[in-house]
């Protein structure tokens, strides 16, 4: 019985470690947001060139949302860094 509990505990720790390792850091989120904003801008340029006004409007809304997300992620990264130093 004791051996079974030890094995079960080892399995739980292994899965928890893997889940924690995959969690993106706030700094990584900000980088991902920057890349998404670049892609959004490129898409707006392509839609403007194609003359698709509806798509440009939709892309601008997506860009606005991505910028807001980046702002929130920057704030979270800043707070995480403050908490880390304390």
Number of domains comprising the chain: 1
Cα(36)–Cα(38) distance, integer angstroms: 5
Euclidean distance between the first and final Cα of the chain, in Å? 43
pLDDT at position 61 is: 96
The tens digit of pLDDT for each residue in 25-77 reads 888 999 999 999 999 999 999 999 999 999 999 999 999 999 999 999 999 99
Let me know: does 67 contact 37? Beta carbons within 8 Å.
yes
pLDDT at position 27 is: 85
Question: What is the Cβ-side half-sphere exposure of residue 39, based on CA atoms within 13 angstroms?
Answer: 8
The residue segments making up the domain with residue 72 are 25-85
Domain annotation covers residue 4: no
* Confidence (pTM): 0.66
Domain annotation covers residue 30: yes
Does 80 score more than 80 pLDDT? Answer: yes
Domain annotation covers residue 68: yes
pLDDT at position 21 is: 54
pLDDT at position 11 is: 57
Cα(72)–Cα(38) distance, integer angstroms: 18
């Amino acid at each position: 019985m004791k051996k079974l509990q030890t094995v079960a505990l080892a399995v739980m720790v292994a899965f928890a470690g893997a889940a924690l390792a995959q969690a993106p850091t706030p700094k990584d989120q900000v980088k991902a947001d920057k890349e998404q904003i670049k892609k959004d801008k490129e898409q707006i340029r392509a839609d403007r060139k194609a003359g698709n006004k509806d798509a440009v409007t939709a892309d601008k809304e997506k860009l606005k949302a991505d910028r807001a997300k980046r702002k929130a992620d920057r704030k979270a990264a800043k707070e995480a860094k403050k908490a880390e130093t304390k």
